[in-house]
């Protein structure tokens, strides 16, 4: 707590957002594109696309409110910068440093009929709100027999490795929440997806968790449509079609696996099919199963630890669905079952070299 208060005080007093050193990136970002039919586009990085999405939500929904630690001045990653000046102090406002309170307040706002857009400053600190999210938000409609709900609640939070975050600013806790029916969990891979998916979450009538890979805030830049648009939840994206191995990831890991696809093609003459899961819960089982029936091999990669990571659920489900199609055991390349390290982060992450080794094991099984 003392460290968090110091960091917040430093950031606020210096008006200095946290920045991601480009030299520490363990991947190469490849931007998505949109067809000309999508209309006017604007160059945006991830945090600007998120800001634009929230701005549209506030402009089109008079009941929408944004709240969280330091969001009034823009937040430590600048995702809400300028929104209070545009929409007013009654609609964009700070909260105390209390994640349980932020989630509980959001549940009340949504249950009362408004649209709640909450920010948890770092995903590592969402766990004090776990009870409110899983025992209240996720179950509110069910335990009232459909009389009440808090479906208009979206909780945004920065997640995953950043190059220097160490144990308390690098974690990927999506699997903790994936065990809880009633939630939707989304992780974007870039600005175009982030804008459309966040608007979909805000307008969805189920409580949503929106995990934002913080290393992409400034390193991910795309030409984003300026119009109001949404993207489907629970639908995975096939980014590269292939015949030999299916690679599945989400968030930052999609970009790592994109490089692995090219390495496999150049060095092994292996054709990889790359899938961005997009939505952790409810996840798109059919798209992955259809791919594995074609390729016969599956590699899943994520930054969270191996044991009970969401890759385990995918592996078990695909083994059940595609057992007779599999040419090799499902491979998982993940973080290790340790706290997230600081100086050893490069060895902890499921980088392209570890993933490429797994591809070779699958090919030669």
* Phi, psi (rounded to 5 degrees) for 190: -170, 175
Q: Average pLDDT for residues 292-304, to the nearest whole number?
A: 98
Q: What is the pTM of this model?
A: 0.93
Q: Average pLDDT for residues 111-122, to the nearest whole number?
A: 98
**320 CB-near residues (< 8 Å, 6+ apart):** none
Mean pLDDT of the chain, nearest integer: 94
- Name the segment(s) of the chain with CATH classification 3.40.50.970: 38-225
**197 neighbors 233 (Cβ within 8 angstroms):** yes
Question: Is the predicted pLDDT of residue 12 greater than 50, yes or no?
Answer: no
* Phi, psi (rounded to 5 degrees) for 274: -105, 125
pLDDT > 90 in the chain, percent: 93
Question: Is the predicted pLDDT of residue 19 greater than 70, yes or no?
Answer: no
Question: Is the predicted pLDDT of residue 2 greater than 60, yes or no?
Answer: no
- Residue 295's pLDDT is 98
Catalytic positions, please? Answer: 99, 169
- For 161-190, write each residue's pLDDT tens digit: 999 999 999 999 999 999 999 999 999 999
What is the chain's Cα-based Rg? 20
- CA dist., res. 153 & res. 89, Å (int): 20
Q: Average pLDDT for residues 16-41, to the nearest whole number?
A: 77
Q: Please tell me the least confidently modeled range out of 18-22, 259-263, 292-296, 340-344.
A: 18-22
**232 neighbors 201 (Cβ within 8 angstroms):** no
Q: Is 104 exposed, middle or buried (0-12, 13-18, 19+ CB in 10 A)?
A: middle
Cα-based distances in Å from 212 to 53, 86, 176:
13, 24, 16
Report residue 8's pLDDT band, with 50, 70 and 90 as the boundaries. Answer: low
- Name the segment(s) of the chain with CATH classification 3.40.50.920: 237-364
Q: Does the domain at residues 38-225 carry the CATH identifier 3.40.50.970? A: yes
Indicate the fold that domain 237-364 takes in CATH: Rossmann fold (3.40.50)
Q: Average pLDDT for residues 241-255, to the nearest whole number?
A: 98
Count Cα atoms within 13 angstroms, Cβ side, for 171: 19
Q: Average pLDDT for residues 137-149, to the nearest whole number?
A: 96
- Residue 18's pLDDT is 47
- Residue 231's pLDDT is 98
User: Residue 17, Cβ neighbours under 10 Å: how many?
Assistant: 16
- Residue 13's pLDDT is 45
**105 neighbors 142 (Cβ within 8 angstroms):** no
- For 188-204, write each residue's pLDDT tens digit: 999 999 999 999 999 99
Helices (H), ranges, the chain: 2-14, 46-60, 83-87, 99-111, 130-131, 140-143, 174-178, 191-203, 216-219, 253-268, 285-295, 310-322, 345-348, 352-364
């Amino acid at each position: 707590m003392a460290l968090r208060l110091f960091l917040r005080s430093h950031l606020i007093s210096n008006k200095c957002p946290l920045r991601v050193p480009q030299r520490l990136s363990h991947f190469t970002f490849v931007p998505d594109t949109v067809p000309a039919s999508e209309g006017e586009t604007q160059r945006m990085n991830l945090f600007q696309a998120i800001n634009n999405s929230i701005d549209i939500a506030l402009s089109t929904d008079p009941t929408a409110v944004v709240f969280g630690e330091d969001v009034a001045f823009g937040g430590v990653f600048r995702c809400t910068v300028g929104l209070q000046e545009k929409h007013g102090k009654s609609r964009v406002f700070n909260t105390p440093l209390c994640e349980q309170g932020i989630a509980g307040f959001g549940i009340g706002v949504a249950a009362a009929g408004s649209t709640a857009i909450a920010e948890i400053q770092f995903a590592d600190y969402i766990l004090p709100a776990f009870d409110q999210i899983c025992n209240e938000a996720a179950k509110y409609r069910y335990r009232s027999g459909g009389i009440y709900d808090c479906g208009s609640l979206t909780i945004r939070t920065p997640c995953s490795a950043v190059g220097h975050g160490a144990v308390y600013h690098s974690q990927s806790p999506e699997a903790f929440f994936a065990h809880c029916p009633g939630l939707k969990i989304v992780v974007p891979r870039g600005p175009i997806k982030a804008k459309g998916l966040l608007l979909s979450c805000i307008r969805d009538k189920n409580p949503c968790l929106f995990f934002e890979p913080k290393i992409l805030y400034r390193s991910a830049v795309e030409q984003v449509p300026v119009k109001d648009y949404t993207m489907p939840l629970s639908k995975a994206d096939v980014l590269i079609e292939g015949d030999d191995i299916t690679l599945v990831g989400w968030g930052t890991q999609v970009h790592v696996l994109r490089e692995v696809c090219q390495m496999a093609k150049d060095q092994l003459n292996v054709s990889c099919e790359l899938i961005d899961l997009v939505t952790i819960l409810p996840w798109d089982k059919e798209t992955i199963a259809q791919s594995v029936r074609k390729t016969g091999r599956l590699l899943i990669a994520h930054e969270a630890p191996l044991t009970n990571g969401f890759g385990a659920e995918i592996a078990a489900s695909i083994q059940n669905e595609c057992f007779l199609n599999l040419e090799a055991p499902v491979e998982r390349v993940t973080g290790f079952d340790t706290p997230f390290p600081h100086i050893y982060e490069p060895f902890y992450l499921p980088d392209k070299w570890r993933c490429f080794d797994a591809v070779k094991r699958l090919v030669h099984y």
